[in-house]
């Protein structure tokens, strides 16, 4: 049997014997231990030698044949095939697996993207998911409308009108799986020579998308009233990307006067648009909800975008934008073969969930819960004033700390990391250094904490920075 004496089969292993044999022979072929044209032992002889069944040998040989490592010749047996290219692919694949980065898990994580998973309405969601998977829903296995199924677009149009004052028809709504998928569509729809004004500091993923599509961007400063529109007016931008309801990452809310000023800027020249990312609009804790820019727009210059990542769950991967009517035909002409990237089953679960009122109930419940967490968080940090000051607490699921300490925000991030705590330096979200505070500022998310975890987390962070209570 020659080389076959070296085959190792561990009969006590949980790995099936045929898989062990298959892996052993495959490895020998890839390494070149078995030359091309080498004849493998017959199933009967190898089974006798290894004291295993011929069925096991047949399964291993069959898998090797199907992958092209060996070939079966009638009445002659099995022979090793030429597989240099396969071997190369195998080596690359193993290298990629070895170099894949693994995200670090922190014992305390102030990530602003985390939600309260314990409060998710699993029972209701499970019920609708089960109903959608009923056999009567076979049509949902086929492709639906390229902008998303009308049932969900109707619910979205109704919801954003009642909650945000967005005026649109379901036909103007386009559904996709996240900002990363929808924003490139908008970029391709608008003038290829458009110049995009972006908030500084601002949402980094959107900035990366503009860069990846070779779109020119201009940074516009943000203060406590949001984007400085006067600064925008002195630039050559034709499209302004803003997060007016809860600016990311500062937490500022675009003031009423600047909203009017921004809308006037957009309508003053043909081809100007505002992309309104209604980030964190569902969770406002001070005063009444502020109407969307789209609802105030009289000249159809606002493209409204939003997502269910915070209001339901990030993994749902459902976002949408609302096009002005005059852009709708251009969109359909530009993307005639586009298919919605959101599975229809998920669309219909969400549509029914919204139609029956569970989405509104869930939002009301979460708004109260996050308000309690925010109150607890702010009270915990009040004990460290005036060294630590809070801003951006009017809405959303994160706040900003300004710390009166002789360190940079990146140094504070490193100190927290040594204590197994994750926080985020505000300077990382800046496009330029002009607008960076002289005092270090750090972004703190609170949505993923249980209420009882907040005070110990704050105390641990302050200990990591060696800041004592006042």
Tokens representing residue 49 in the block:
């030698």
Contacts of 35 (CB under 8 A, 6+ apart): 80
Do residues 81 and 142 share a domain? no
Which pLDDT tens digit goes with each residue over 157-207? 999 999 999 999 999 999 999 888 899 999 999 998 999 999 999 988 888
Determine contact, residues 440/412, Cβ cutoff 8 Å.
Answer: yes
Q: Tell me how crowded residue 195 is: count the other CB atoms within 10 A of its CB.
A: 15
Determine contact, residues 411/79, Cβ cutoff 8 Å.
Answer: no
User: Bridge-partner residues for 72, per DSSP?
Assistant: 78
Domain span at 76:
2-99
Residue 470 lies inside a defined structural domain of this protein: no
d(CA 413, CA 433): 18
Residue 302 lies inside a defined structural domain of this protein: yes
Determine contact, residues 57/41, Cβ cutoff 8 Å.
Answer: no
Do residues 276 and 212 share a domain? yes
Which pLDDT tens digit goes with each residue over 427-468? 999 887 666 778 999 999 999 999 999 999 999 999 999 999
Query: How many domains are contained in the chain?
Result: 3
Contacts 24+ apart (CB under 8 A), 85-93: 86/30, 87/29, 87/30, 87/31, 87/32, 90/30, 91/30
Do residues 293 and 430 share a domain? no
The pLDDT of residue 76 is 87
Determine contact, residues 242/262, Cβ cutoff 8 Å.
Answer: yes
- Confidence band of 88 (pLDDT split at 50, 70, 90): very low
Do residues 342 and 447 share a domain? no
Q: Which of 46-55, 86-95, 309-318 has the highest mean pLDDT?
A: 309-318
**pTM for the full model?**
0.78
Do residues 78 and 206 share a domain? no
Determine contact, residues 179/206, Cβ cutoff 8 Å.
Answer: yes
d(CA 359, CA 350): 8
Do residues 278 and 330 share a domain? yes
Do residues 243 and 330 share a domain? yes
Determine contact, residues 405/386, Cβ cutoff 8 Å.
Answer: no
């Amino acid at each position: 049997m020659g080389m076959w004496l070296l085959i190792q089969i561990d009969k006590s292993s949980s790995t099936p014997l045929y898989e062990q044999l298959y892996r052993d022979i495959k490895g020998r072929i890839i390494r070149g231990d078995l030359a091309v044209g080498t004849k493998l032992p017959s199933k009967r002889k190898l089974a006798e030698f290894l004291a295993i069944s011929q069925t096991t040998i047949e399964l291993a040989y069959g898998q090797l044949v199907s992958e092209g490592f060996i070939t079966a010749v009638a009445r002659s047996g099995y022979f090793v095939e030429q597989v240099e290219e396969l071997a190369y692919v195998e080596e690359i694949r193993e290298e990629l697996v070895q170099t894949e980065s693994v995200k670090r898990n922190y014992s305390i994580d102030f990530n602003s993207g985390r939600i309260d998973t314990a409060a998710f309405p699993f029972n209701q969601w499970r019920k609708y998911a089960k109903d959608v998977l009923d056999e009567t829903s076979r049509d949902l296995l086929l492709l639906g409308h390229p902008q998303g199924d009308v049932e969900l677009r109707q619910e979205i149009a109704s919801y954003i009108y009642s909650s945000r004052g967005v005026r649109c028809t379901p036909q103007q709504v386009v559904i996709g799986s996240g900002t990363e998928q929808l924003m490139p569509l908008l970029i391709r729809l608008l003038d290829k020579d458009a110049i995009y004004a972006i908030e500084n500091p601002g949402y980094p993923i959107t900035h990366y998308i503009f860069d990846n599509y070779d779109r020119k961007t201009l940074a516009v400063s943000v203060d406590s009233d949001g984007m400085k529109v006067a600064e925008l007016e002195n630039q050559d931008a034709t499209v302004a990307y803003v997060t007016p309801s809860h600016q990311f990452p500062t937490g500022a809310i675009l003031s009423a006067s600047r909203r009017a000023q921004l809308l006037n800027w957009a309508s003053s020249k043909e081809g100007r648009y505002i992309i309104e990312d209604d980030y964190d609009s569902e969770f406002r804790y001070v005063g009444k909800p502020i109407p969307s820019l789209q609802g105030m727009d009289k000249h159809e210059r606002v493209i409204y975008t939003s997502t269910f990542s915070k209001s339901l769950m990030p993994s749902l991967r459902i976002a949408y934008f609302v096009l002005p009517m005059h852009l709708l035909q251009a969109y359909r002409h530009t993307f005639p073969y586009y298919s919605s990237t959101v599975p229809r089953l998920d669309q219909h679960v969400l549509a029914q969930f919204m139609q029956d009122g569970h989405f509104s109930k869930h939002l009301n419940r979460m708004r109260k819960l996050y308000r309690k967490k925010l109150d607890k968080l702010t009270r915990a940090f009040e004990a460290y004033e005036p060294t630590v000051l809070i801003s951006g607490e009017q809405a959303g699921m994160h706040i900003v700390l300004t710390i009166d300490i002789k360190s940079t925000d990146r140094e504070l991030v490193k100190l927290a990391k040594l204590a197994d705590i994750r926080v985020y330096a505000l300077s990382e979200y800046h496009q330029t250094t002009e607008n960076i505070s002289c005092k270090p500022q750090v972004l703190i998310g609170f949505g993923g904490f249980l209420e009882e975890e907040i005070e110990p987390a704050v105390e641990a962070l302050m200990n990591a920075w060696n800041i004592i209570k006042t």
